[in-house]
A and B are shown apart, each in its own frame.
Chain A
């Protein structure tokens, strides 16, 4: 009953607000959906495909629990997430200046245009194997791959942010004699930051996929490396357990980390839109 709208909502039935009912329906759908999916999977595994090629969900669940409870998961998760973070650091370091140039100068926009446009359609396997060829099996490979994948998104979003800066605000600041650095600090940075963050969030899913692929091809630790090990052991439950755990954690980071953080950091902007 946290929702004060309940009292005045004429359609409130059984003491639930509209939002509450929607949440219940969502939860019900989630339970039915996941339950139905698992049931279908179990039946397929039992009767049609066979438990060796498609292990039943319980077996994968047990494997996931083993990986989690033995602490193995976090042992491998830490290097993976650290490389991802460094990769995004690299992407920001290059993406910001490139985006700034693209957003402020016609020449530099044309200069970087093709590289930025093309980067998104380059297959991930290219980044994975090329970084292996150039850097060998090293910590640097996945970092560079993530940096290269995420950089164009950040650059184009920073450019878009600069493009959207309110020119009247800049003119007014100049008319009132604000210094260049104060205009940058109080007008440009707040306008561009949400776009840059959107760039990070948009490229996040793509970046960790490529990072994993790089680990599969050339790394000696991390989730991707574990997937490779399980594949070479011909262990389908092990492979699925690792990748599902990883996906769950990544979706949690995206949903409850990035999306919330974005909402919190730029709450003044959301209010403005509402």
Chain B
């Protein structure tokens, strides 16, 4: 008995270790370690590029309001406080404009024929153009940044709403009118549920596209906010400050996207995507190109 235990003891332990290493979590941890290693290698190869140690040290100071040789204090909170109202306001306006334009194009054949090509060009215009134009139009300040967000993000909302409105099954609409269902009830039970999923998809695109637009807008026409802050360190040739801020704004958008927006979208689309395999659904969620173009 004891001999058996002695025999299985170590092999069970190595089995557990192997299972832990090959589990999904193990794979994930391994992938992050590999990324860090790659980063370290790049930093060793390229002098100007700071390694992870330096950057995280800087990040810690910036977030905990420590001092960089007495230069700055509490930058993290201060710049997010400047950025978040702009971002929220810009996204809210994009949603409103996109919803109106989308419903218009989706519901009327004439509006579709007239506005479709303009929308296509708007989808294709890179955010940098709006950042440049708004700087020339409005100078430095909040207005340029917010308008950059709206002009870049609203076409993505509109195009999703169009898809949603056009996806309302015609049979159901006909049946509702044949059975004299009231306008309010068709709206509440047919139009709204059919468009909700597409609305959340549009919201997700708007947030991702809008965040990029906000960073560009702040980079070129602001004197505070996360985009400006990263430019500040970039211009000062302090790349570790720049990269620390890059990490902050990647983390912000990735957490917002994966923890909130993807879940909303998945929940609202569960009627449509239930038959998809997990990989197919993920492929659909990764795609943030130009839907329908």
A positions within 8 Å CB-CB of B? 25-26, 28-30, 32-34, 36-37, 53, 102-103, 106-126, 129-130, 133-134, 152-153, 156-157, 159-160, 163-164, 202-206, 209, 212-213, 216, 227, 231, 234, 236, 239-240, 243-244, 247, 250-251, 254
The residue from A28, A114, A133, A236 contacting B242, defined by CB atoms under 8 A apart: A133
Query: B129 to A164, Cβ gap below 8 A?
Result: no
**Chain B residues, CB < 8 A from A163:** 277, 279-280
Interchain CB contact under 8 A, B249 and A121: no
CB pair B27–A123 under 8 Å, yes or no, is no
Interface class of chain A by DSSP: helix
Q: Pick from B42, B128, B132, B293: contact of A254, CB below 8 A.
A: B293
Are A111 and B124 in contact (CB-based, < 8 A)?
no
A32-B114, A107-B22 known; A118+B27 contact, CB < 8 A: no
> 19 new A-B pairs (CB below 8 Å) besides A159-B283, A247-B124?
A28-B113, A33-B114, A33-B117, A33-B118, A107-B27, A108-B27, A111-B28, A115-B35, A118-B250, A126-B246, A129-B246, A134-B42, A152-B286, A156-B286, A202-B289, A205-B290, A212-B128, A231-B136, A254-B293
Contact B212 A123 (CB under 8 A): yes
For residues 118 through 154 of chain B, which have their beta carbon under 8 Å from a beta carbon of chain A? 118, 120-121, 123-129, 132-133, 136-137
21 cross-chain CB contacts under 8 A = A30-B117, A33-B114, A33-B118, A106-B24, A112-B31, A114-B32, A115-B35, A122-B254, A123-B215, A125-B216, A125-B219, A133-B48, A133-B242, A156-B282, A160-B283, A202-B287, A209-B127, A213-B216, A239-B133, A247-B124, A251-B124
Q: In the complex, which residues of chain B have a beta carbon less than 8 angstroms from the beta carbon of A254?
A: 293
CA distance A26 to B190 in the complex (A): 29
What's the Cα separation between A119 and B257 when bound, in Å? 11
Q: B208 at the A/B interface (Cβ < 8 Å)?
A: yes
With A and B bound together, what is the CA distance between A125 and B136 in angstroms? 20
- A199–chain B nearest beta-carbon distance, Å: 8
Distance in angstroms from A98 CB to nearest chain B CB is: 11
Q: Within the complex, what minimum Cβ distance (angstroms) separates A204 from chain B? A: 7
A33-B114, A236-B133, A251-B124 given; A125·B215 CB < 8 A: yes
A247 CB, nearest partner CB in chain B, Å? 5
Q: What are the interface flags for B160-195 relative to A under an 8 Å C-beta threshold, 1 for contact and 0 otherwise?
A: 000000000000000000000000000000000000
Q: Closest CB-CB distance, A118 to chain B, in whole Å?
A: 5
Interface size bracket, B side = 35 or more
> In the complex, what residues of B have CB within 8 A of residue A133's CB?
48-49, 234, 239, 242-243
Docked-complex contact A234 and B136, CB < 8 angstroms: yes
Closest to A216 in B: B128
**Chain B residues, CB < 8 A from A33:** 113-118
Please indicate the chain A residues that have their CB under 8 angstroms from the CB of B28 in the complex. 110-111, 113-114
Asked if B100 CB lies within 8 Å of chain A CBs, one says no
A247 touches B125 (CB 8 A): yes
**Any A CB within 8 A of the CB of B46:** yes
Please report the number of residue pairs spanning A and B whose Cβ atoms sit closer than 8 angstroms: 166
In the A-B complex, list the 9 residue pairs whose CB atoms are closest, starting with the nearest. A29-B113, A110-B27, A33-B114, A123-B212, A110-B24, A111-B27, A160-B283, A205-B290, A202-B289
Q: Is the CB of B136 within 8 A of A29?
A: no
Q: Does B82 sit within 8 A of A, measured CB to CB? A: no
A133 to B287, CA, bound (A): 27
- Is B250 in contact with A122, judged by CB distance below 8 angstroms? yes
- Does B60 interact with chain A (Cβ within 8 Å)? no
CB A85 to nearest CB in B, in angstroms, measures 18
B61 CB within 8 Å of chain A: no
For residue B68, CB closer than 8 A to chain A, the reply is: no
Q: Is there contact, CB below 8 Å, between B289 and A203?
A: yes
Given the interface contacts A111-B28, A159-B279, does A212 sit within 8 Å of B126 by beta carbon?
A: yes
The answer, yes or no, to whether B89 is at the interface (CB within 8 Å) is no
Q: Is the CB of B212 within 8 A of A124?
A: yes
Q: Assess A34 versus B286: contact at CB under 8 Å? Given A53-B136, A114-B31.
A: no
A227-B129 CB under 8 A given contacts A32-B113, A122-B253: yes
A39 to chain B, nearest CB (A): 12
